[in-house]
A and B are shown apart, each in its own frame.
Chain A
Amino acid sequence: MARGSLVRNAASIAGVGCTEFSKHAGRTELQLACESITAALADCGLAPADVDGIVSYTVDPVEETELIRSVGFQEITWSSRVPYGGGGSMGVLLHAASAIASGAADVVVAYRAIRARSGATRFGGAKTSPSPTSGHSGTTAIQWCMPYGILTPASWMALNSVRYMHTFGVTSADIGRGVVQMRDYAATNPAAWFYQRPITLDDHQNSRWIVEPCIHLLDCCQETDGSVALVITSRERARDLPQVPVNIGAASAAGLFEQEIASDHYRGDLSIMEGSVALGRRLFDDTGFSRVDVDVAMIYDAFSPILLMQIEALGFCDFGEAKGFVADGHLRLDGSLPTNTNGGLIGEGYIHGLNLVLEATRQLRGTAVNQVTDARTALVTASRTGAILTVD
């Protein structure tokens, strides 16, 4: 099997920027992208004219040409969109590092702008026809699930989650303990939607069913409006810029045969996330990075069952053991794998995953609100894309 998709130590995150995260931004995705990109460039002291590469991922409604003419990029030599929607969110690190390593670009802006709540299409809404933002590789669910009323990301992923719970004897309460942890982190993060609003396991269990028997209301990420942008450049150039450079130590991806974005129903065994298994193998076994070296992890928690499933698939515990791993406190600040310290997509907000890279960068700069002591190595993953970030 080909194992080539791995880029190491070629580039660094030099700047980060974001808008506020809200339920009603009151402005377009294009404007939100402009604002976060401007903030990210200011963060590292670069100008739009320094940028020659741009990358986002599918389901982003921002048109590249409009972004270029709005921000004032002068000459873009390289651009890309990673497939798999939010599952491709961490792929922007692989694509940007690849472009820089190859010489195709020198300074890359990675971005995502979203109006998941107030936009033309609510992300959690019931869709029965392809929407303008469901394009690219996102239309398969509409074809094969829509006539059956299986209309939302929660309902698509639930079919995998129920099989997971059945195979390993996992309960909704087992999953809920992960949600309680995310909400504890969000409670002390002023940028989080659920700032100062922690929950108990009873709150979780008593919230209404979205999909029975695996997804309560409180298992769902927040439909959020906002934008995040990253400025990525060579390690050498990043060292001369004002912020502590966050090195992309390894970046990889694993889009497997028969996979879809969220309606990922056609692999043989849906009780494990095989794309994450392949990703973990590449990021750790192929690099010499060790799982015990990860000081802080960001794991794409669109819905809480996949938080547990990815912890297992990435190799932090055995299959079926994440429920104990979570219950034993390993995700806490003083645990072995502090995870989603911003509150995650469930607690902070859902900028389609990219706010997790923002949080990892803050951790490695030492500026996170829930700071892990002396964090040197961070893992960022979204199902089938991911990276290991380090600071010198």
Chain B
Amino acid sequence: MTDAERERPAPVVTDDSAVFWDAATEGRLVAQRCASCGVLRHPPRPMCPHCRSLDVEVVDLAGTGTVYSYAFLHHPQHPAFHYPVFAALVDLDEGVRLATNLTDVAKEDVRIGMRVRVHFAAAAGGTRVPVFRPDDESEVA
């Protein structure tokens, strides 16, 4: 398969998760924030687990964060992806964590604690998903 034929699969979108994925396709990184107590949450859910409020806002995030963990995935291999896949957990500066990919970085340069910034990678069906690349300039919030 050539690179041009590889296509990242579209996210599985549910009624509860659409708020995140629909924004990503528009190039926005968002999280739910409780309209009552103000606590951010991810993954999305209908109720605030801290105060039980059903009132929710969707807020744009700065898109900067820190690598909490990473892993290079070698096997098994799915035709939609390049291997090794650079998998990561990124702690966003606002305090929520995402599973994602690291891009534009060599394997030997990946570190826990490295600063990263969001960009958006194309996926099937015209969707996009948030991924991260090194960002030495951003300050830890």
Can you list, as one digit per residue, whether each of B112-141 has a CB less than 8 Å from chain A (1) or not (0)? 100000000001000001010000000000
- Given A148-B87, A149-B80, A159-B99, check contact A211 B69 (CB 8 Å): no
Contact B43 A211 (CB under 8 A): no
B14 within 8 A of A: yes
In the complex, which residues of chain B have a beta carbon less than 8 angstroms from the beta carbon of A151? 76, 78
A206 within 8 A of B: no
B46 within 8 A of A: no
In the complex, which residues of chain B have a beta carbon less than 8 angstroms from the beta carbon of A49? none
Residues from 102 to 156 in A contacting B, C-beta threshold 8 Å: 124-126, 128-130, 139-140, 142-152, 155
Q: Give the distance to chain B from A299, nearest Cβ to Cβ, in Å.
A: 22
Contact A150 B87 (CB under 8 A): yes
In the complex, which residues of chain A have a beta carbon less than 8 angstroms from the beta carbon of B112? 162-163, 166
Contact B99 A265 (CB under 8 A): yes
Residues from 37 to 63 in B contacting A, C-beta threshold 8 Å: 42-43, 49
| In the bound complex, CA of A257 to CA of B89 (Å) | 18
Q: Of all chain A residues, which has the CB nearest B81?
A: A149
> Looking at the complex, which one of A124, A162, A212 makes contact with B74 (CB distance below 8 Å)?
A212
B-side interface size class = 35 or more
B35 within 8 A of A: no
Contact A147 B85 (CB under 8 A): no
A233 within 8 A of B: no
21 A-B residue pairs with Cβ-Cβ distance under 8 Å, sorted by A, are A128-B80, A140-B43, A143-B12, A143-B17, A144-B99, A146-B12, A147-B8, A148-B85, A148-B99, A149-B85, A155-B71, A159-B69, A159-B89, A160-B69, A161-B71, A162-B70, A163-B69, A208-B74, A210-B74, A211-B71, A212-B71
Residues from 61 to 114 in B contacting A, C-beta threshold 8 Å: 68-78, 80-81, 84-85, 87-89, 97-101, 112
A-side interface size class = 35 or more
- Given A147-B123, A166-B112, check contact A211 B72 (CB 8 Å): yes
Residues from 34 to 66 in A contacting B, C-beta threshold 8 Å: none
Contact B43 A155 (CB under 8 A): no
B11 within 8 A of A: yes
Contact A147 B81 (CB under 8 A): no
Q: Give the distance to chain A from B15, nearest Cβ to Cβ, in Å.
A: 12
In the complex, which residues of chain B have a beta carbon less than 8 angstroms from the beta carbon of A257? 49
Interface centre among A124, A128, A209 (most CB of B within 10 A): A128
Q: Give the distance to chain A from B101, nearest Cβ to Cβ, in Å.
A: 5
Q: Give the distance to chain B from A154, nearest Cβ to Cβ, in Å.
A: 8
